[in-house]
Amino acid sequence: MSESVNDTLRIDVEPVNKAEQRPLYAKRVKIHPKLVHGLFRQAKWLVMAVTLTIYYVTPWIRWDRGDLAPNQAVLIDFPSRRFYFFNLEIWPQEFYFVTGLMVLAALVLFLVTSVAGRVWCGYACPQTVWTDLFIHIERMIEGDRNKRLRLDKAPWTASKIAKKFLKHTIWILIAIATGGAWVFYFDNAPELAADLINFQADFIAYLSIGVFTFTTYTLGGLAREQVCTYMCPWPRIQGAMFDEHTYAVSYREDRGEPRGAHKKDESWEGRGDCIDCNQCVAACPVGIDIRDGLQFECIQCALCIDACNAIMKKVDRPTGLIAYDSLDNQRLRTTGEGQKTKIIRPRTIIYASVIAIVGIVMLVALIGRSELEVNVIRDRNPLFVALSDGSVRNGYEFKLLNKAHHQATYRISATGVEGAQLKLRGSDYSDMLEVTAAPDELTAYKVFVTVPRTALAHPDLSDGRATLRFDVEEVGGAVRVTETTSFHGPKR
């Protein structure tokens, strides 16, 4: 019996043939996408031209803010701790505006992805834009796909060395321009450009340009699709935004299969429209076959659509064999129910609603933004001072942040405690104070508030504490800020 059991459980392990072992990591096969023509290729040219123009030109746009502020339209001014964006000036304590913009951008990206897939990756992502530009330079120098493939396999000759050298030189120049344009966002562009040329700029500027030159050249020119496939986390995250109604670049298998070569004048009866020409694969910048279904490597650039449509026109078949389509539509076509577009659904409604809420909150905060910020800090040691005439005095530290680009005068008054008198250090008591605040600076004042002995009998001060409100109003202006604090006296 024991021998029978042992025979049953015996597992024969055959030695693995070392010749059949595969390496853990496959060697990269360089991808040479073919140039195609069509609607989506034109859209990519347009987006590339617009985005690159915005990136390189924006630091040079001038914006008059007066004599006391920089005249660069977009400037991240670290020494002054300011972010200038045309008419908007953001201070460090207002960084929530930048946070809000980032949240809005993320939500819009979620909404667009849930509707039309990775269109951001295919058209506007910086990695895609610069890779497209580098491939265009490569194509101009080395030729289209077939010529580049032959050149890579050819022996090293003077012609090949010259072409490779010229290509990489132009790539490096573009990368330097990219890094140079980036540092211009952090300093006055014309002055910094002159300092860079004369080698008088700070070391950090040259270091930043060097880092961005290296990353642009490496990621856009050498790594290319490897960044999208292996380095970028978005392909893994996007699955959470997809559903069966999301439109993505898709091969319509119900129409294309069975595929196969087709000769002129042959009948299309009993076969699909796909002639297995592989032009969609040749045009793909990440080297996938869209006919294998949705793949996380696909950046939804839709160049395979242009390539396929061109072939369909040549063989006199309807275009759209590869098109933006949803899984639900593909299912409906196979069951003969037609197709439908379903953009408005719970997922998109939630994204759109949150975008609207965040946008309204930011708009209200922006409209209600004041050029004056007041911070009042009451003295805690001592809580109050009993004067010889029986009155009680509290001290307050006033901090006025004047965000305007001109000096302003403000009136300070106090309400909430009857008979309150105010004074600055070294001045006399009065019902109202006038102080000045320098432009774009924080100005501090020591303010003393005294309440007469008769006012201490007021019910509001029975527990030794009352609410005190300071009203700060600009003289000759519309700025008005109210700050609430407390006044302390002896308990009864």
| DSSP annotation string for 302-363 | -HHHHHHHHHHHHTT--S-SEEEE-HHHHHHHHTT--------SHHHHHHHHHHHHHHHHHH
Residue 185 lies in a domain: yes
Mention every residue, 6+ apart, whose C-beta is less than 8 A from residue 431: 413, 421, 422
Supply 200's token pair.
């008088």
**158-183 and 39-57 helices, crossing angle to 10°:** 50
Q: Can you tell me the distance from the alpha carbon of 186 to that of 45, in angstroms, rounded to the nearest whole number?
A: 29
Q: Can you tell me the distance from the alpha carbon of 89 to that of 75, in angstroms, rounded to the nearest whole number?
A: 10
Q: Can you tell me the distance from the alpha carbon of 212 to that of 179, in angstroms, rounded to the nearest whole number?
A: 5
Mention every residue, 6+ apart, whose C-beta is less than 8 A from residue 84: 63, 65, 69, 70, 72, 73, 74, 75, 76, 77, 90
Domain with residue 420: its CATH number is: 2.60.40.10
Q: Are residues 349 and 380 in the same domain?
A: no
CA distance from start to end of the chain: 100
Residue type, 320: G
Mention every residue, 6+ apart, whose C-beta is less than 8 A from residue 304: 249, 280, 281, 283, 284, 290, 322
Q: Are residues 414 and 266 in the same domain?
A: no
Q: Are residues 279 and 139 in the same domain?
A: yes
Residue 11 lies in a domain: no
- Coil, helix or strand at residue 74: strand
Residue 450 lies in a domain: yes
Last residue of a domain, one of 321, 352, 368: 368
Q: Are residues 361 and 376 in the same domain?
A: no
The structural domain count of the chain equals 2
Residue 357 lies in a domain: yes
Q: Are residues 201 and 228 in the same domain?
A: yes
pLDDT tens-place string over residues 459-492? 766 677 888 999 999 998 888 899 999 998 887 6
Q: Are residues 101 and 221 in the same domain?
A: yes
Q: Are residues 238 and 116 in the same domain?
A: yes
Strand ranges, E, within 137-269: 248-251
Mean pLDDT of 152-180: 95
8 A C-beta contact, residue 442 and residue 399: yes
Last residue of a domain, one of 319, 337, 368: 368
Identify the pLDDT of residue 242. Answer: 87
Mean pLDDT of 120-127: 94
Q: Can you tell me the distance from the alpha carbon of 150 to that of 20, in angstroms, rounded to the nearest whole number?
A: 30
Residue 391 lies in a domain: yes
**96-116 and 346-367 helices, crossing angle to 10°:** 160
Could you tell me the sign of the dihedral formed by the alpha carbons of 158, 160, 161, 167, in that order?
positive
Identify the pLDDT of residue 22. Answer: 63
Tokens 């809005």, located at residue: 104
Mention every residue, 6+ apart, whose C-beta is less than 8 A from residue 112: 119, 120
Q: Are residues 484 and 359 in the same domain?
A: no
Q: Are residues 231 and 356 in the same domain?
A: yes
Supply 133's token pair.
């530009």
Please determine, for residue 21, whether its predicted confidence score (pLDDT) is greater than 80: no
Residue 127 lies in a domain: yes
Mean pLDDT of 374-379: 92
Identify the pLDDT of residue 15. Answer: 54
pLDDT tens-place string over residues 235-264? 888 888 888 899 999 999 989 989 999 888
Mention every residue, 6+ apart, whose C-beta is less than 8 A from residue 126: 51
Residue 7 lies in a domain: no
Last residue of a domain, one of 368, 398, 421: 368
Angle at 401 between CA 397 and CA 406, to 5 degrees: 130
Mean pLDDT of 197-224: 95
Residue 413 lies in a domain: yes
Could you tell me the sign of the dihedral formed by the alpha carbons of 183, 186, 192, 195, in that order?
negative
Q: Can you tell me the distance from the alpha carbon of 281 to that of 287, in angstroms, rounded to the nearest whole number?
A: 6
Mention every residue, 6+ apart, whose C-beta is less than 8 A from residue 61: 72, 73, 74
Residue 81, Cβ neighbours under 10 Å: how many?
Answer: 11
Q: Are residues 353 and 279 in the same domain?
A: yes
Q: Are residues 87 and 210 in the same domain?
A: yes
8 A C-beta contact, residue 396 and residue 377: yes
Q: Are residues 172 and 317 in the same domain?
A: yes
Binned at pLDDT 50, 70 and 90, residue 3 comes out as: very low
pTM for the full predicted model: 0.81
Domain containing residue 431? 372-488
Mention every residue, 6+ apart, whose C-beta is less than 8 A from residue 160: 151, 154
